[in-house]
Structure 1
Amino acid sequence: MKNLIGIDKNKATVLNKLLNQLLADYQLFYQNVRGFHWNIKGKEFFELHIKFEEFYNDASIKIDEIAERILTLEGEPLHTFSDYLNESSIKERKGVKDGVKGVEYIVVNLSILVAKEREILSLAGEADDEGTISLMSDYITETEKTLWMLNSYLN
């Protein structure tokens, strides 16, 4: 059986589970980076305060896109913090004031996100789900470039 957009319902269910995990990951990523933005101190303050804001604004957009994709696939996006904490591979980071430490955490978190995006991309290909393929492909391209830039910053 196929859903409204022509995707096998069983495959859409699997994709929705993974998309909800990605949604949870992005929610924790967002909140962590927001905390880095608020609490950073030191000589990198001006540069990283702005960069962290760019990252959490981008995450906010992706959170909405992922939730809407889940709805398009006839699923229900997670929407409680308890669900996010249970589903996310990204862990909360408290008390990070050092900008470089914040960047290091962002690199680790982006590596988690890009791995999940690749997993979803692969399954979306098997389901002939072009909408999810396109979304994940765009995210992967952007995340890879960001990882390269952050790694250059750290080294």
Structure 2
Amino acid sequence: MTKLNPIGLDLEKSKVLAEKLNALLADYSVFYQNVRGYHWNIKGDKFFELHDKFQELYEDLFVKIDEVAERIRTLGHTPHHKFSKYLKDADVKESTEVADGVQDVKDTLDSLKIIITLQRELLHLSDDAEDEGTNALMSDYIREQEKLVWMYSAYLK
């Protein structure tokens, strides 16, 4: 007989999901701090528009970080919280240039690609685990972020 967690999901599959969600939490946390740096340090003729856009983005990331951590708890596991662990585990890397708007947008696109790819993996894993909660969350995030990729890419043209 399959062992189930408190919300009725297979224990082993929910453990794998929680591990992947912790990887996503690490990526989101590093990305969040990068975007805060872009917002604080942007310079140049696109200052006002990028300053506002980066604020919108980091505010959205703040919400997503909390939702991902809470989803890990809902699955019966513990979200990581140490930034040193995030830096070790994240595929999104710390940005070194935070005052050049064009580079910041390029770095944002690179980070979104990493995150969307991981979320697609989580979408498939959550489907296999019959975890509608994680699946719906990832589906919503992917839809929102694909639109952001289109918008930020259009900005660079």
Normalising by structure 2, report the TM-score: 0.97
Once the 2 structures are TM-superposed, how far is the Cα of residue 95 of structure 1 from its aligned partner?
3.6
Structure 2 gap ranges (5+): none
In the alignment, does 2:140 pair up with 1:138? yes
Does the Cα contact within 8 Å between 1:15 and 1:123 map onto a contact in 2? yes
Q: Which runs of 4+ in 1 moved over 2 A?
A: none
Residue matched to 1:3:
5
In the alignment, does 2:150 pair up with 1:148? yes
Residue matched to 2:28:
26
Once the 2 structures are TM-superposed, how far is the Cα of residue 122 of structure 1 from its aligned partner?
0.3
- What amino acid is the match of 2:51? H
Out of 74, 93, 107, the position equivalent to 2:95 is 93
Q: Distance in 2 between matches of 1:83 and 1:76?
A: 13
Q: Secondary structure at the match of 1:121?
A: helix
- What amino acid is the match of 1:145? K
Residue matched to 1:38:
40
Does the Cα contact within 8 Å between 2:27 and 2:115 map onto a contact in 1? yes
Q: Distance in 2 between matches of 1:96 and 1:27?
A: 16
Structure 1 gap ranges (5+): none
Q: Secondary structure at the match of 1:74?
A: coil
* Aligned residue pair count: 155
Residue matched to 1:68:
70
Does the Cα contact within 8 Å between 1:107 and 1:147 map onto a contact in 2? yes
Q: Secondary structure at the match of 2:8?
A: coil
- Residue by residue over 1:12-70, the C-alpha shift from the partner in whole angstroms, topping out at 9 and shown as x without a partner, is 00000000000000000000000000011000000000000000000000000000000
Q: Distance in 2 between matches of 1:22 and 1:132?
A: 12
Does the Cα contact within 8 Å between 1:39 and 1:95 map onto a contact in 2? no
